[in-house]
Amino acid sequence: MRPFSYTRATEANAAAKQVSADKGAKFLAGGTNLLDLMKEGVENPSALVDISRLTLAQIKTTSRGVSIGALGKNSDTANHPLIRKNYPLLTQAILAGASAQLRNMATNGGNLMQRTRCPYFYDVAMPCNKREPGTGCGALEGINRMHAVFGWSEKCVAVYPSDMSIALAALDAVVKVKDASGAERSIAFADFHRLPGDRPEIDNNLRPGELITAIEIPKNNFAGNSYYLKVRDRASYAFALVSVAAALEMNGKKIKTARIAMGGVAHKPWRAFEAEKMLAGKEATEANFKQAAEAEMRNAKPLEHNKFKVELGNRGIVRALQMAMNGGAA
Ligand SMILES: Cc1cc2nc3c(=O)[nH]c(=O)nc-3n(C[C@H](O)[C@H](O)[C@H](O)COP(=O)(O)OP(=O)(O)OC[C@H]3O[C@@H](n4cnc5c(N)ncnc54)[C@H](O)[C@@H]3O)c2cc1C
Ligand code: SF4
């Protein structure tokens, strides 16, 4: 174990100041990801700034929709009456992740920031550009069954593991952040996580020392017709092979707006814009769902061991849309 300092923050600005002043410092929230990575020697922070006691856990309605505190626990968020009633897609996605014990510890901000589950990233004896830039990508020519089919680069083919974030992407959420000076900014969910490009070590567009304070979800008319589908190797405690968050706003028999985001397929939540475009104004029939799925998945570029994800993605989109049409409540 490498030595590190530990401080418990009592105020958000001071926490952001501490982390921005020390390149090796990290925020500690629930610790369910960061502490595992430290035990494996993948992350070696020089300082932990414990933010878990900051009063940033509130879930409340705003004029725009709902605001979810970054330090709210995943379980409290999933089970909050406001979320269950108005954003059941988010409830379903959170409950599809991890275990009850983990969700009781894991925070909303930490969930967004969790790192890839690529086994080469976790194995410090293997090359990995994300863990150690310039060492190569073990998965590109290795075992890449769990890896990306969209948006990958020669430098990294990892996928982003969060379930919660896939629903937030479909719901066009906004991430509220604060820096060391106390200045706040909002990041559209689509711009929060990154594709790997030449810098796979950078997972997202948060600036050094910036603290996530809340996640806002705008009002929408999706609550009656949304569904989160997660396909995985076993029924519990496993990350998605492919997941699909589907939300429909109907106008009679026709689809007014479709929102579809996919997990397990890219380095960030993957918005299925091609499928969404194809569905706008169409009737909600199986034939149209299939056409939309094919429009999206025809752009997939599978690796040697994950060609099955293309068909799984096709079927997953169709199934999630069917469940959404049937009112797939949480
Ligand atoms: C066995 C196991 C199974 C799991 N299965 C799933 C699954 O199926 N689906 C799924 O989605 N997740 C799964 N998870 C991941 C789990 O959801 C995450 O570990 C958890 O959400 C992280 O939250 P945390 O508060 O514990 O973060 P921490 O571990 O405390 O922090 C994670 C990272 O976020 C940063 N951070 C935390 N809060 C903030 C903030 N407010 N602002 C800026 N940076 C911040 C930290 O510095 C750190 O880098 C699993 C985890 C385990 C251990
Ligand atoms: S896919 Fe990314 S995380 Fe996995 S070994 Fe390659 S560089 Fe590392």
**170 φ, ψ (degrees, to nearest 5):** -65, -30
Structure tokens at 68: 């979810």
Tens digit of each residue's pLDDT (9 = 90 or more) over 114-157: 999 999 999 999 999 999 999 999 999 999 999 999 999 999 99
In this structure, whether the domain defined by 5-52 belongs to CATH 1.20.1560.10 is answered with no
Residue 264 phi, psi (nearest 5):
75, 5
Q: Ligand 2 pocket, 129 CB below 6 A?
A: yes
Edge-to-edge, what's the strand order for the sheet holding 254-263?
226-231, 242-251, 254-263, 270-271
Q: pLDDT tens for residues 9-44?
A: 999 999 999 999 999 999 999 999 999 999 999 999
According to DSSP, residue 156 is labeled B
The pLDDT value given to residue 235:
86
Domain with CATH 3.30.390.50 in the chain: 226-325
| Local structure of 92: helix, strand or coil | helix
Q: What is the mean pLDDT of residues 80-93?
A: 98
Q: Which residues pair with 47 in a beta bridge?
A: 5, 25
Confidence tier at 236 by pLDDT (50, 70, 90): confident
Query: Per-residue DSSP letters for 116-127?
Result: P--HHHH-TTS-
For the segment(s) 226-325, the CATH number from 3.30.390.50, 3.20.20.70, 3.20.20.150, 3.30.360.10 is 3.30.390.50
Q: If residue 262 lies in a helix (H) or strand (E), which one and from where to where? A: strand 254-263
pLDDT over 80 at 329, yes or no: no
Q: Which one, of 30, 83, 37, lies nearest residue 54 by Cα?
A: 30
Say yes or no: CB of residue 116 within 6 Å of ligand 2: yes
The pLDDT value given to residue 330: 45
Q: Given strand 174-178, what is the order of strands in its sheet?
A: 59-61, 65-69, 211-218, 174-178, 184-188
Length of the chain (residues): 330
Rounded distance, CA 83 to CA 91, Å?
7
CA–CA separation, 330 and 227 (whole Å)? 8
Q: Is the CB of 159 under 6 A from ligand 2?
A: no
Among 34, 38, 159, 241, name the best residue to mutate to test ligand 1's pocket (greatest count of ligand atoms within 8 A of Cβ): 34
- One-letter amino acid identity for 172? D
Site residues for ligand 1, CB cut-off 6 Å: 26-34, 36, 51, 70, 74, 97-98, 102, 105-107, 109-111, 113-114, 161-164, 211-212, 237, 239
CATH 3.30.43.10 intervals, the chain: 5-52
